[in-house]
Amino acid sequence: MAGSPMTSPGTARAPREAIILGSRSIGVAEQASFAALAADRNPIHTDAAAARRSMVGSVVVHGAHTLLWSLDLLAGGEFRPAAVGSIDARFPKPLYLDERAECRLEPRADGSLMLRVQVAEKVVATILVGTSPTPTPAAEPDAGSLADAAPLDAAPRETDLDRIEGERGVLITGGPAAEYGRRFPQAAALLGDALLRDIGGCSRLVGMICPGRWSLFSRLIVFPRPGREGEGLRYHVAGYDDRFRLLRIDVAGGAMAAKIEAFSPPPPVAQPDISTLAGTVNPGEFAAQRALVVGGSRGLGALTAKLLAAGGAEVHLTYASGVQDAQALAGEIGRHSGRAACHRFDVLETRPEDLMRALPPITHLYYFATGPIFQAKRRSYDPVLLESFTRFYVTAFFELCQAAWQAADGIGLSIFYPSSVAVAERPKELVEYAMAKAAGEILCQEMPRLFRGMTINVERLPRLLTDQTASVVPQSLPDPSAKVVAILRKMNAGR
């Protein structure tokens, strides 16, 4: 054991103004290593394809990992507290792999220490470290037997939320405490490595057990106490708020008591299958379309591909990274006697001429390529972010249209460009996105003058229910099917 908890009262020194304790990014290898240590292999941490379809949209660093790294920085620095009475960590935004996070220590009027972990302006964790002794919560979960606990290699649990309130259980924490001490030596010296392992165990509890497969760790409040080895964690779901799918969980381990708040977001939005969608279009009404659907493996692109195929079109859909989704979609269309093929095409990497060589001349192009819309901003107006969006929604779009028009060789080409209501509404977090879409709209007005026989339809789409707009908050967003059918018919008419 690398150290035991310091419980003597002490007055923490705090900086007069915020200081940066350190910065770093976490890559794939380190992420996998922590997932193994904590035995939290929830797909949002370990599986890029599954994470892409989830509410967070990409692989996310474990909140517990961010917390332990931050505590290690604090414990190894000039403002190391003499004692820690409580740790209150919130995780308001996801930290993605390879994002460079900065840990700042901020002074607080009450003498506590505030760690704030940020990627540019995006706050991914706030950690309030109380330096005065804090009573451990009186009510603790009943003891359970580790013999009843799920094995460490079990798959993440699919929880029945209707029966979650009041659930009690016990879980085995992950790798040895000494390994936590080796990875976070300063934090272990201050808090004891058994406590670090218990914190890692909370990650496993949320990500693998309760709520398990569909989970987001929102808050962890830790009350350290003298550490004992090898007891696992006992938990009790003290409350479940079905309005927000929010769980409150009491936890007790050998080295701590804790309170957890975690969300259980709904599973990814499932598109209606093609058999269902076939009832919304007329047989053969899109048979004249040989359509290229860029970004067709999910969301509105996938829905467009299905509806086109249901109406008799020959569909070529592209994917950048979701090969399994794309192949599954093409298979579904094929089983419905539709015509579909999928092609890898990353609008930022693949030369559009190379894609066109793999295709017969197309008559219709639907451009649903998109990257993460809600990205970390470096400042109120972020030119780097604007450039990123502009490459997606303007430059790459133009180059693809040009290549498709050349390949069409005079047969005519109809293009659909999905703009956004954000152009007019301009939500604060989406200024650069709105600017790029506005530029795309202007380009769409110009291109028919540059390329004879090209027609372009532009629609400012509202928020529709897709992977990218999924939220833990219940939403009443409209089903996008009717909107997409209307677009396809408009494209059919060549207007």
Partner 1 sequence: MGSEEILAQLTDIVREVLEDETLVLRPDMTAEDVPGWDSMAHINIIVASEIQFGIKFRAAETEELRDVGGFVELIEAKLP
Which residues form the interface with partner 1 (CB under 8 A)?
90, 92-93, 108-109, 114, 116, 121, 123, 126, 128, 218-219, 241, 243-244, 246, 261, 263, 427-428, 471-474, 476
Angle (CA) 204 209 34, round 5°: 20
Smallest separation, CB 286 to partner 1 (Å): 37
DSSP element (H, E) containing 314: strand 314-319
- Residue 365: how many CA atoms within 13 Å on its side-chain side? 29
- Residue found by looking up tokens 């579909």 in the block: 340
Smallest separation, CB 415 to partner 1 (Å): 34
Q: What CA–CA distance (Å, rounded) separates 371 from 268?
A: 17
Classified as helix, coil or strand, 249 is strand
Smallest separation, CB 250 to partner 1 (Å): 16
What tokens does 410 get? 């005079």
**CA neighbor of 256 nearest in space, from 228, 293, 280:** 228
- Residue 486: how many CA atoms within 13 Å on its side-chain side? 8
Nearer to partner 1, 218 or 297 (CB): 218
Nearer to partner 1, 92 or 360 (CB): 92
Smallest separation, CB 117 to partner 1 (Å): 11
Nearer to partner 1, 67 or 194 (CB): 67
What tokens does 248 get? 């409150």
Q: What CA–CA distance (Å, rounded) separates 448 from 193?
A: 66
Nearer to partner 1, 241 or 387 (CB): 241
Q: What CA–CA distance (Å, rounded) separates 267 from 316?
A: 27
Smallest separation, CB 354 to partner 1 (Å): 40
- Residue 442: how many CA atoms within 13 Å on its side-chain side? 9
CB 415 within 8 A of CB 397: no
Smallest separation, CB 265 to partner 1 (Å): 10
Q: What CA–CA distance (Å, rounded) separates 368 from 419?
A: 10
Nearer to partner 1, 110 or 160 (CB): 110
Nearer to partner 1, 92 or 230 (CB): 92
Nearer to partner 1, 210 or 216 (CB): 216
Write the CB contacts of 2 (distance below 8 Å, at least 6 apart in sequence): 178, 181, 182, 185, 188, 189, 192, 193
Smallest separation, CB 124 to partner 1 (Å): 11
Q: Where are the alpha helices (DSSP H) in 185-337?
A: 185-191, 193-204, 274-278, 299-310, 323-335
Nearer to partner 1, 60 or 443 (CB): 60
Smallest separation, CB 17 to partner 1 (Å): 13
